[in-house]
């Protein structure tokens, strides 16, 4: 009887806690967190309507123009409304969208965000097919498509342009494919609308993406192109001529939409597209100046340097990313000079510092740092701001050049707070960033570097760590050019960005973009200090003609201005800049934090407006552990597991009851 009572008690406990363990977990989330999608459900509803994403890229000189096509098909028997979260380059200026339903094409309009949402919701309720593109972060977008009828094939085309600036003669084009899960400690009930995308469903680790991925890149270099390489995907390259190349994915990469596509190439002789580009518009004219910096200065001219490594050891770094971080830091720290000083700050939900003050780059201190890092396995949340504050509060010595190096996958949602903190400390600290993982949050990685006037580095594979460490050491070994100034003589310019040019730390061109009036005449002069020598280079505008091929300068200038307004200088969505951002978005037809693209097919196709809302689940980025999604029981087995466990307990209890009730036979002695 005691056994039966224990079984009954176990059954009651299991039944009581079963909902909180898995089945009802999604409804009881205390914080804004992603979750794993539960398979199954209504067979009449297509829960994976996005079937393919395709990117057609055309690179001419230093400008990339990209058309992204998302193909949705409703293979269920009921109308659906689909929602999809996807990434793009942090430098992307999204300037166009079209929706195609069958043979009908609708060109999207740019509207203030709230107005666009109202337009979309009205069309949705009226039973019309519509699409809405919102920007949640400069590199994270949401696509909503309403009233996709059974059998419908809907194509959404997005157009964006971006500027490619080479480093040490190497051009890089990066196409992000998936948004990694973001840690957030914000209660869901209190989360602003701009953060609701964080709560997105994910497929479990090891599951292939449910949609196909394809990309084709056409490169026109003007001079012969060489050394084309892709470390992330298998590619095939076709050469129509020496100055043109077409890169396509290998057929085996159809399921590769769970990691960034990164393509690198050079021009013959390590040439770069430097010089002056002009565009004359109907009401505004634009220019872009690119100047190749001089060689490295002598080592003897470099001051003592201090490096503080801020390393992410949160749950999303578990496994592959943290292993790479350990190898990367081992390479970086071991390469410091004896006169350099360093420290290590590890962070997840809290921060741990190797030493109260930075230490000399000796073998003993190096070994201590490696032991500290080796003891980490990856767990907990990602409190970046507290870690940066810890790093900047470490006591410093006079006449020492301090640099903070952030190593993370960037899976946090509090990017703006971190960038603001960096901007406030530019007068005493340089900031650099290493993104670790197959699909890092490039908004944070590049934002840290840009806000800190440094350079971002991204490592996607283990074997890239040593090479990345070597590039970083070369990059920050010495300032190539300091005190940079650009003067304009006889050439009337305005709205020039950046207003102040930071010191140069690598063989990376200086890029200045702005507007001009009148005729292109006069001279542009760039000056600076190269070690102990003065530097000067002039560009004569005589003979330089504006070209319609440079029309993208209009969007590129506006995107640069938007970056200054919304990404790094002010809080994301700051009221003081909101009107300026809206005006820029409307004037230049650009997607921004406060402007959206909306397209409506003005035909009532679903009179009852009874569509089912579906959020397209995302694959976990390659190499990212399930620890990155949720916490506690969110990482528990599927609900079906608990159902089987419940049935097993019930079976055991019934069997035990039958055994007790069985009559006892008489035994003769």
First to last CA, the chain: 28
Q: Residue 508: CB partners within 8 Å, gap ≥ 6?
A: 165, 166, 167, 168, 293, 455
| Domain formed by 282-296+480-550, architecture | Sandwich (2.60)
Give the pLDDT confidence score for residue 260 in this predicted structure.
94
In this predicted model, what pLDDT tens digit does every residue of 417-435 receive, in sequence order? 787 787 777 656 778 888 8
Confidence band for 183, pLDDT divided at 50, 70 and 90: confident
**To 10 degrees, the CA torsion angle through 236, 220, 164, 502?**
130
Averaged pLDDT, 314-334: 78
Return the structure tokens found at 468: 């990345």
Q: Full-prediction pTM beyond 0.75?
A: no
> Phi, psi (5° rounding) for residue 418?
-65, -40
> Phi, psi (5° rounding) for residue 533?
-110, 150
Confidence band for 651, pLDDT divided at 50, 70 and 90: low
Confidence band for 20, pLDDT divided at 50, 70 and 90: very low
Give the pLDDT confidence score for residue 665 in this predicted structure.
45
**Res. 346: pLDDT tops 70:** yes
Give the pLDDT confidence score for residue 210 in this predicted structure.
92
**Res. 653: pLDDT tops 70:** no
Give the pLDDT confidence score for residue 608 in this predicted structure.
92
CA distances from 574 to 67, 570, 578 (A): 30, 6, 6
Contact yes or no for 321/624 (Cβ under 8 A): yes
Averaged pLDDT, 43-55: 91
CA distance 525 to 521: 13
CATH class of the structural domain 35-269+591-615? mainly beta
DSSP per residue, 288-313 = EEEE---PPPPGGGPPPEEEEEEEE-
**Res. 111: pLDDT tops 80:** yes
**Res. 487: pLDDT tops 90:** yes
- The number of beta carbons lying within 10 Å of the beta carbon of residue 489 is 11
**Res. 622: pLDDT tops 90:** no
Confidence band for 586, pLDDT divided at 50, 70 and 90: very high
DSSP per residue, 466-534 = HHHHHHHHHHHSS-SBEEEEEEEES--EEEEE-SSPPPB-SS--EEEEEEE-S-S-SEEEEEEEETTEE
In this predicted model, what pLDDT tens digit does every residue of 349-397 receive, in sequence order? 788 899 999 999 888 888 888 888 777 765 656 788 888 889 988 998 8
In this predicted model, what pLDDT tens digit does every residue of 221-274 receive, in sequence order? 878 999 999 999 999 999 999 889 999 999 999 899 999 999 999 988 767 777
Give the pLDDT confidence score for residue 669 in this predicted structure.
33
- The number of beta carbons lying within 10 Å of the beta carbon of residue 439 is 28
> Phi, psi (5° rounding) for residue 43?
-70, -15
CATH 3.40.50.410 fits 303-476, yes or no: yes
**Res. 300: pLDDT tops 70:** no
**Res. 634: pLDDT tops 70:** no
pLDDT averaged over every residue in the chain: 82
Helix (H/G/I), strand (E/B), else coil: 399: coil
**Res. 217: pLDDT tops 50:** yes
């Amino acid at each position: 009887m005691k056994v039966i009572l224990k079984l009954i008690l176990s059954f009651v406990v299991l039944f009581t806690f079963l909902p909180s363990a898995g089945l009802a977990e999604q409804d009881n989330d205390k914080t804004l967190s992603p979750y794993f999608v539960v398979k199954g459900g209504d067979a009449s509803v297509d829960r994976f309507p996005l079937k393919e994403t395709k990117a057609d890229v055309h690179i001419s000189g230093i400008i990339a123009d990209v058309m992204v096509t998302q193909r949705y098909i409703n293979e269920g028997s009921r109308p659906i409304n689909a929602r999809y979260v996807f990434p793009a380059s942090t430098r992307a200026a999204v300037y166009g969208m079209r929706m195609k339903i069958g043979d009908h094409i609708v060109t999207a309009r740019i509207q203030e965000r709230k107005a666009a949402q109202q337009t979309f919701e009205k069309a949705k309720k009226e039973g019309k097919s519509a699409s809405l593109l919102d920007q949640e972060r400069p590199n994270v977008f949401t696509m909503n498509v309403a009233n996709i009828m059974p059998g419908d094939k809907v194509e959404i085309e997005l157009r964006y342009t971006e500027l490619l600036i080479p480093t040490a003669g190497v051009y890089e084009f990066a196409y992000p494919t998936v948004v990694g899960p973001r840690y957030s400690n914000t209660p869901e009930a209190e989360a602003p609308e701009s953060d609701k995308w964080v709560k997105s469903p994910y497929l479990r680790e090891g599951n292939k993406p449910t949609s196909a991925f394809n990309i084709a890149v056409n490169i026109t270099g003007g001079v012969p192109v060489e050394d084309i390489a892709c470390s992330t995907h298998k590619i095939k390259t076709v050469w129509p001529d020496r100055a043109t190349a077409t890169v396509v994915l290998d057929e085996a990469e159809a399921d590769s939409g769970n990691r960034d596509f990164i393509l690198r190439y050079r021009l013959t002789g390590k040439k770069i597209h430097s010089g002056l580009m002009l565009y004359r518009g109907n009401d505004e004219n634009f220019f872009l100046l690119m100047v190749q910096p001089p060689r490295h200065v002598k080592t003897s001219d470099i001051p003592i340097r201090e490096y503080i490594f801020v390393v992410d050891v949160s749950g999303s770094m578990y496994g592959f990313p943290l292993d790479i971080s350990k190898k990367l830091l081992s390479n970086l720290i071991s390469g410091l000079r004896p006169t350099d000083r360093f420290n290590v700050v590890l962070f997840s939900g809290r921060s741990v510092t190797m030493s109260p003050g930075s230490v000399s780059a000796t073998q003993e201190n190096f070994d201590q740092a490696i032991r500290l890092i080796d003891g980490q396995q990856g767990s907990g949340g990602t409190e970046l701001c507290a870690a940066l504050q810890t790093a900047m509060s470490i006591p410093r010595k006079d006449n020492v050049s301090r640099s903070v190096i952030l190593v993370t996958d960037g899976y946090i949602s509090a990017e703006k707070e971190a960038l603001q903190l960096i901007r406030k400390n530019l007068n005493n600290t340089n900031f650099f960033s290493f993104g670790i993982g197959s699909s890092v949050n490039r908004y944070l990685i590049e934002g840290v570097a840009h806000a800190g006037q440094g350079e971002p580095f991204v490592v996607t594979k283990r074997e890239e760590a040593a090479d990345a460490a070597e590039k970083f050491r070369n990059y920050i070994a010495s300032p190539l050019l300091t005190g940079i100034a650009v003067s304009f003589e006889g050439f009337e310019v305005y709205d020039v960005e950046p207003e102040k040019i930071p010191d140069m730390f690598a063989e990376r061109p200086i890029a200045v973009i702005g507007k001009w009036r009148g005729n292109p005449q006069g001279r542009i002069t760039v000056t600076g200090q190269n070690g102990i020598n003065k530097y000067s280079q002039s560009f004569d505008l005589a003979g330089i003609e504006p070209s319609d091929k440079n029309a993208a300068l209009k969007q590129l200038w506006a995107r640069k201005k938007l970056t200054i307004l919304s990404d790094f200088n002010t809080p994301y969505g700051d009221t003081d800049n909101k009107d300026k951002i809206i005006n820029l978005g409307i004037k230049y037809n650009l997607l921004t934090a406060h402007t959206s693209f909306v397209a409506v097919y003005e035909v009532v196709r679903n009179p009852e407006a009874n569509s089912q809302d579906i959020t397209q689940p995302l694959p976990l980025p390659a190499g990212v552990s399930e620890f990155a999604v949720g916490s506690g029981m969110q990482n528990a087995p599927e609900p079906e597991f608990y159902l089987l466990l419940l049935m097993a307990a019930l079976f055991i209890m019934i069997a035990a009851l039958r055994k007790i009730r069985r009559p006892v036979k008489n035994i003769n002695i």
